[in-house]
Structure 1
Amino acid sequence: MVRVKRNSGHVVGDDVVVAGEVLKQMPRKTELRRRDARGGIHLVAANLDVLGIVVAPDPPSGFIDRAIVAARVAALQPFLVVNKCDLAETADLLGKVKNTYTGSVPIFPVSAAHKSGLEEVQHFLGVGHRGAFVGTTGVGKSSLLNVLCPEIGLKVGALSDYKGLGRHTTTVSTLHALSGGGELVDTPGFRDFGLVEISEEDLAIFFPGFEEHDGISCRFRNCRHRSEPGCAVAEQVNQGIIHAERYATYLEILTEVEKEQAEFRSKGWKNQ
């Protein structure tokens, strides 16, 4: 056994070569990172190929879209897991998720508490995928992992009194092999999923629902879908193909990304 220092730079999923007490990190194929509410950037895991976005009733605004974009930019295939489908209030969320994301990403309705719907998730992961579940605290990521990989016995915390959010029950990321094939990384719960190093062009390309329809594309390759002439997205909004609510959500996130990019460029100029 080789002890890995906390500040070694190694993360869960890294491929390494062991030479005595030294670990040599091999090149990473993919990296999953997130930005926290304070602006700090955290590397969550390496060498994943899929990302399971777990949601339950009352997800934070824009969380699903941010996670999907982050996954796609990181070259990961996103999929949605709607947990707590045994609760009546989840039906409304599931309906909205299906209406919004069917055709963009795979969707799995499950109940970790009742152990229902997990067979489809197991089959999806069992073809050899290595993935992670991300989601705000309290959506049941640890409960899902306990069902999919029961030998790990992760602690499951009760909901706190603060807005019904769960307590953080996982503090470090860990990699687990699934009995039916595939691997899952358990990541600490967090209430945000900030986009990391996402450009306006990335958002325009990867925002769910803006995929090309019937071969129709924007006039300009770098179209940001705001006010450019010949924008296919704007035309589809006018025609009702893309709902105005989805377009409003996109513009809200685009404004955030533009602000972030402007701040980054400003800091770069000040440091010159």
Structure 2
Amino acid sequence: MRVQGVIVSHYGIAVEVLFGDGARRMVKVKRNSGHVVGDRVEVTGEVLARLPRKTELQRRDARGGIHLVAANLDVLGIVVAPSSPAGFTDRAIVAARAAGLEPFLVVNKLDLPEGEEVAGTVVPLYRELVLVFALSAATGSGLEPLREFLRNGHRGAFVGSTGVGKSSLLNALVPNLDLKVAEVSEHKYQGRHTTTVSSLHALPGGGELVDTPGFRDFGLVDITCEQLAEFFPGFEALERQGCRFHNCRHRSEPGCAVSVLAASGALNAERYRTYLELLDEVEAAEEAAQRRGWKK
């Protein structure tokens, strides 16, 4: 008999499937099967078949490897805190938009003076571009607006570098979850990531969250220079102003609207530098793909 369900946990050589009647079952898979949490599947005996995906969230690691993070999400929560590396937020927003997901920011650790300082910078910078939730997972302050947002039937994931408090945030949102939280050092407020199994959790009142292993890098996958300019946060004004040339890469071309925004201060200088770094990265990836095509 064929039964459809959703993969809610992935253990490398086996996955846990949640069926419509609430039953759960472990099914063995090959280690590199390509299945991920969030996949809709059809199970026949011990055979598992993946159904078409609506969305995929991928990332490229520092060594160039491509990893599929989760499937069939509709939102992506980008968690930032005092330990967050520069540029991670903009990378994640671009990746989310390119994957067809709605990005939102979670500024965590407001219970720390350093967290308040981060919020004072991040909230004004992004609140006109994406939804922003400033909170403390440790004390619970500011959690209710985020809960209300997720209750609207969203399936999402939290991404962020190690030490930003993703496990603490999930523990606060999902009662009795009790994810292991690593000790965070006082130096730079960084911790060791503790999640080793990807899993999907239902939230009280509605909504679902995927817990994924943390990572410090978020390299872009299969994004063109045109998509980078389209999805980069802060470039939304280009739709109204426009550049002289339709294929402008916003580096030093004449009549570039982005250059005007950067020069006037309307575009944050640090984030413009992040864009230029991402542009270099995307151009290098495109050139590498072209070279591979020529060798075939």
TM-score, length-normalised on structure 2? 0.86
2-side partners of 1:251 and 1:50: how far apart? 26
2-side partners of 1:165 and 1:264: how far apart? 36
2-side partners of 1:29 and 1:220: how far apart? 34
Conserved 8 A contact 2:76-2:103:
yes
The residue that corresponds to 2:28 in the other structure is 4
The residue that corresponds to 1:56 in the other structure is 81
The residue that corresponds to 2:202 in the other structure is 177
Is residue 164 of structure 2 the alignment partner of residue 139 of structure 1? yes
Kindly provide the CA deviation profile for residues 180-236 of structure 1, in whole angstroms up to 9, marking residues without a partner as x: 210000010111111112211111111111112682222333321113333221222
1:161 Cα deviation from its structure 2 partner: 8.4
Which one of the candidate residues 47, 58, 61 is aligned to 1:22?
47
Conserved 8 A contact 1:36-1:192:
yes
Is residue 199 of structure 2 the alignment partner of residue 187 of structure 1? no
| Comparing 31-40 and 45-54, the one that deviates more | 31-40
Conserved 8 A contact 2:238-2:258:
no
Q: 1:150 to 1:193 in 2, by over 3 A?
A: same
Which one of the candidate residues 110, 116, 121 is aligned to 1:96?
121
Kindly provide the CA deviation profile for residues 61-80 of structure 1, in whole angstroms up to 9, marking residues without a partner as x: 11101001000000100000
The residue that corresponds to 2:131 in the other structure is 106
Is residue 155 of structure 2 the alignment partner of residue 130 of structure 1? yes
2-side partners of 1:185 and 1:198: how far apart? 24
2-side partners of 1:151 and 1:8: how far apart? 31
Q: Which runs of 4+ in 1 moved over 3 A?
A: 160-164
Which one of the candidate residues 147, 156, 173 is aligned to 2:181?
156
2-side partners of 1:213 and 1:102: how far apart? 18
SS class of match (2:28): coil
The residue that corresponds to 2:255 in the other structure is 230
Conserved 8 A contact 2:96-2:103:
yes
1-side partners of 2:144 and 2:50: how far apart? 35
Is residue 98 of structure 2 the alignment partner of residue 73 of structure 1? yes
1-side partners of 2:272 and 2:266: how far apart? 11
Letter in 2 for 1:98: V
SS class of match (2:176): helix
The residue that corresponds to 2:240 in the other structure is 215
Conserved 8 A contact 1:100-1:209:
no
Greater strand fraction, Structure 1 or Structure 2: 2
2-side partners of 1:147 and 1:163: how far apart? 23
Which one of the candidate residues 277, 283, 287 is aligned to 1:262?
287
| Comparing 68-77 and 166-175, the one that deviates more | 166-175
Conserved 8 A contact 2:82-2:188:
no
Conserved 8 A contact 1:51-1:134:
yes
Is residue 120 of structure 2 the alignment partner of residue 120 of structure 1? no
Conserved 8 A contact 1:30-1:75:
yes
Report percent identity of matched pairs.
65
Conserved 8 A contact 1:132-1:185:
yes
How many residues are aligned here?
271
2-side partners of 1:50 and 1:201: how far apart? 22
Kindly provide the CA deviation profile for residues 218-265 of structure 1, in whole angstroms up to 9, marking residues without a partner as x: 233332111333322122223332233332221122112212222232
1-side partners of 2:143 and 2:208: how far apart? 15
1-side partners of 2:104 and 2:145: how far apart? 12
2-side partners of 1:25 and 1:269: how far apart? 34
SS class of match (1:127): coil
